Structure 1
Amino acid sequence: MDDEMTENTQVPLSVLDLSPIPQGAKARDAFHASLDLAQHAEKWGYQRYWLAEHHNMTGIGSAATSVLLGYLAAGTTSLRLGSGGVMLPNHAPLVIAEQFGTLESLYPGRIDLGLGRAPGTDQRTMMALRRHLSGDVDDFPRDVQELQRYFGDVQPDQAVQAVPGQGLHVPIWLLGSSLYSAQLAAKLGLPFAFASHFAPDMLFQVLNLYRENFTPSAQCQQPYALVCVNVIAADSDRDARFLFTSMQQQFINLRRGSPGPLPPPVDNLHALWSAGEQYGVEQALRMSIVGSEGTIRHGLQTLLRETDADEIMVNGQIFDHQARLRSFEIVAGVKNELVKG
């Protein structure tokens, strides 16, 4: 028993992909690049590959998340694929159950359904997505539980079934950056993914709350916390910092209310942002790990030590596709050293 308690456990590495559309490219190019990255991620030993739902953003191609997941699943063989996440308030739970039930039927044992409660867009687009806006904060827990019923075994009095979906037990994850989703994940006994790649402020408080209040469920007997972080790797720290300026510019534009295609990197950001913008962007991205292999190794080991995460998910918005592949290859090279005892 003591040996089991002290045994080191390798922590899985996974990928978050927003299917970025660089300046001068089209969505089709982004989809082909995502498939290429997914195929490499599978070869490099990443655990899972998630796509994020966003709308009305000309630099992000993963709006029709389940459709794009099917494309990636058809081009891979063993990699787990899922949503990081589907923004559930934008959809009827039955529709999502049917979509992910279809994916699970086609690619059994490879599909995850991560759920968020934010709209993943601006207010006008949210109104265009939804048939009505009469919901309240109680809708999200109710919708999550409705989804669980659609993936569960058929009940004798169940009038509406998800076909396909019913009885497939597709794993459900909750995503968030605040106490709300962490509390719900703990109450329902679901795995939880924290979005420290853009909203790191409450990371440690949220993880503690989730773990302390976790209730075992049929899906999850123990709390399982995934931490998502930006990682930009290159053959030198200087090259990595240069590549990182694309993501920094993207956040500047987002704060200005003018999101656009992923811009190319620049040598000097100071001419592009005000002092206030610099502070806001650096705060949002402060947990990003940017550098050469040694810097990445130290950063990920530090993150693991501080969070005791069960899994680390890596996001990397990089303008040049080959540089992006190289970044994820460098990260994969240190995965065997990410262990916790």
Structure 2
Amino acid sequence: MPSTALSVLDLSPVPAGGTVADALRHTVDLARRVEQFGYRRYWVAEHHLAAGVASAAPAVLIGQVAAATSVLRVGSGALLVGHRTALSVVEEFGTLATLHPGRIDLGIGRSGPPRTDAAREPAAPVAPPAGARVVDGLLIPAPFSYAHLAAAPRYALAAALLHQAGARPPGFAGQLDDILALLRGDYRDADGLDAHAVPGEGADLQVWLLGSSGGESARLAGARGLPFAANYHVSPATVLDAVTAYRAAFRPSAVLAKPYLVVSADVVVADTDAEARRLATPYGHWVNSIRSGVGAIPYPSPEQAAALPWTDADRELVADRLDTRFVGTPDTVAERLRTLRDVTDADELLVTTITHDHADRVRSYQLLAKEWAQSGDTGRAR
């Protein structure tokens, strides 16, 4: 199989006892490090009103990361466009692409209730929960319902604060088409009046769609001939649905002659399985804070996590994420990533790693990159 590049998704996690400034500085430092380790691209997420996540303004953070690196592609994973206009998106990312030509990715996602990730202990096989299945060695857990999050007061508050009073978000497909038209320079309104984004028109950037299911995002990415990122780390139960829908809908475009797929995974790597499991222990509490509707808490240390209450109901809420996180030594995690790649036929893997201590996160990415390169799976240029 051709070489498969590794890339990074960063949420700029705020460590318990640390500050937002610490988290943002760590993001810039991590980007510098992973560029040296050979990762292809570095995407930042978009989260709002979360004490444990500092990545709330992707375009601003992308500018800082791009300025601190030289060859790494930098982008959004994903920019939530429901509270933005097509023109504002194109002007922001057109500015970034003008300053850093050939290095900016505009990753677009639909706005909606946040989704989350989780950790698996790799020491022993995990019995699949009811409704789960294993596909060629890859665990596809039972689906998780996000219905309770849609009604959570905190998410209603976020929506109110992000949207102008009385504003109605445009349809996703129409907004995507407006973004693409503004980038190409052939935008026309209903009356035939043209508009030209400056900066933005003709910008040297890549447009991506990101999705967690076989829904509109996957189908639109295929129909428009765009690259697509499917979220195993966000919604592992539906990743194969997303991949299948994208490929079924794909039509060649001026951008791509054939589908190009990135698949994400939650990863923690350390020198021993025991150490990796120790570093991963806070993750269940952190994901639980999101899925319970409280909002992401500052990321606990392993010692703090050990003192937090944890019930069967708590674990059940995050079981799919805990059971599908890749945790262990470099060879253990690399083997599981190869399984994810082979089952989804991914062209690239997007790795997200969260630990309390920044040094442990850097070390995890370093160990994985070294193992991946030694196994012949790496590949930066494309």
TM over 0.5: yes
Q: Distance in 1 between matches of 2:46 and 2:104?
A: 16
Q: Deviation at 1:86?
A: 0.3
TM-score, with normalisation over the residues of structure 2?
Answer: 0.82
**Aligned residue runs from structure 1 range 233-272, under 5 A:** 233-258=269-294, 259-266=296-303, 272=309
Q: Distance in 1 between matches of 2:101 and 2:335?
A: 36
Match of 1:126 in 2: 159
Answer whether contact 1:55 1:120 (CA < 8 A) is retained: no
Q: Deviation at 1:338?
A: 6.0
Q: Which runs of 4+ in 1 moved over 6 A?
A: none
Is it true that 1:304 corresponds to 2:304 in the alignment?
no
Match of 2:219 among 183, 190, 194: 183
**Aligned residue runs from structure 1 range 58-207, under 5 A:** 58-119=51-112, 122-132=155-165, 135=168, 139-154=171-186, 159-180=194-215, 181-207=217-243
Answer whether contact 1:197 1:285 (CA < 8 A) is retained: no
Q: Distance in 2 between matches of 1:324 and 1:230?
A: 12
Answer whether contact 1:154 1:167 (CA < 8 A) is retained: no
User: Could you tell me which amino acid in structure 1 is paired with residue 266 of structure 2?
Assistant: N
Q: Which shifted more, 251-260 or 241-250?
A: 251-260
Is it true that 1:52 corresponds to 2:29 in the alignment?
no
Q: Deviation at 1:188?
A: 1.0
Match of 2:12 in 1: 19
TM-score, with normalisation over the residues of structure 1?
Answer: 0.92
Q: Distance in 2 between matches of 1:167 and 1:120?
A: 33
Q: Distance in 1 between matches of 2:81 and 2:376?
A: 32
Answer whether contact 2:209 2:227 (CA < 8 A) is retained: yes
> 5+ unaligned residues in a row in structure 1: which ranges?
1-7
Structure 1 residues 165 and 268, CA, compared in 2 at 3 Å: closer, same or farther? closer
Q: Distance in 1 between matches of 2:328 and 2:218?
A: 31
Match of 2:268 in 1: 232
Q: Deviation at 1:267?
A: 8.4
Match of 1:218 in 2: 254
Answer whether contact 1:151 1:169 (CA < 8 A) is retained: no
Q: Distance in 2 between matches of 1:158 and 1:311?
A: 40
Is it true that 1:276 corresponds to 2:313 in the alignment?
yes
Structure 1 residues 270 and 213, CA, compared in 2 at 3 Å: closer, same or farther? farther
> 5+ unaligned residues in a row in structure 2: which ranges?
115-154
Q: Distance in 2 between matches of 1:145 and 1:176?
A: 17
Q: Deviation at 1:119?
A: 3.9
Match of 2:22 in 1: 29
User: Matched residue pairs, number?
Assistant: 332
Q: Percent identity?
A: 37
- Please give the per-residue CA displacement for 1:207-258, whole angstroms capped at 9, x wherever unaligned: 1221122111111111111100001001111111111122221012223332
Q: Deviation at 1:285?
A: 3.6
Q: Distance in 2 between matches of 1:113 and 1:37?
A: 20
Structure 1 residues 271 and 52, CA, compared in 2 at 3 Å: closer, same or farther? closer
C-alpha RMSD over aligned residues: 2.0
Answer whether contact 1:53 1:84 (CA < 8 A) is retained: yes
Q: Deviation at 1:286?
A: 2.6
Q: Which shifted more, 125-134 or 171-180?
A: 125-134
Q: Distance in 2 between matches of 1:305 and 1:106?
A: 37
User: Could you tell me which amino acid in structure 2 is paired with residue 206 of structure 1?
Assistant: A
Answer whether contact 1:19 1:34 (CA < 8 A) is retained: yes
Q: Distance in 1 between matches of 2:234 and 2:306?
A: 19
User: Could you tell me which amino acid in structure 1 is paired with residue 184 of structure 2?
Assistant: G
Q: Distance in 1 between matches of 2:67 and 2:112?
A: 28
Q: Distance in 1 between matches of 2:247 and 2:49?
A: 35
User: Could you tell me which amino acid in structure 1 is paired with residue 262 of structure 2?
Assistant: L
Q: Which shifted more, 93-102 or 261-270?
A: 261-270
Match of 1:316 in 2: 353
Q: Distance in 2 between matches of 1:79 and 1:273?
A: 40
